[in-house]
C-alpha cells in the first residue's frame, strides 16, 4: 500500500506543474472569469504559484516515502 502511495506522490509534481502551466496559458487568453466579476489575473497567478509550491512539497514527500515503501515491499504475511 505504501509503495502505491509513493508512486502516486511521485507523479504529483508533474501533474501540479502541468496544471500551473494551463493556468498560465489561460491567463494569457482571457478566457476565464470570476463569478464575482473580479479580474482573474492575480487569482490565476496566485493559484499557479501555489500549485508549483505544492509540486515542490510533494517531491519532498515522495523522497520521505521511499524508505518505508522499500522496507514494507519485502514484508509479507505468514
- pLDDT, averaged per 10 consecutive residues of the chain (78 residues), comes to 87 97 93 90 95 94 88 78
Cβ within 8 Å of residue 21, ≥6 positions away: 48
Can you give the pTM of this predicted structure?
0.78
Among the listed residues 4, 27, 14, the one whose alpha carbon sits nearest the alpha carbon of residue 55? 14
Cβ within 8 Å of residue 41, ≥6 positions away: 27
pLDDT at 66 (0 to 100): 87
pLDDT at 74 (0 to 100): 76
φ, ψ dihedrals at 75, nearest 5°? -90, 150
Q: What angle do CA 34, 38, 41 make, to 5 degrees?
A: 80
Amino acid at each position: 500500500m505504501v509503495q502505491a502511495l509513493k508512486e502516486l506522490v511521485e507523479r504529483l509534481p508533474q501533474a501540479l506543474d502541468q496544471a500551473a502551466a494551463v493556468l498560465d496559458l489561460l491567463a494569457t487568453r482571457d478566457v476565464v472569469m470570476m463569478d464575482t466579476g473580479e479580474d482573474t489575473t492575480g487569482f490565476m497567478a496566485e493559484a499557479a504559484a501555489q500549485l508549483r509550491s505544492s509540486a515542490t512539497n510533494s517531491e519532498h514527500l515522495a523522497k520521505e516515502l521511499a524508505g518505508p515503501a522499500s522496507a514494507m515491499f519485502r514484508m509479507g504475511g505468514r
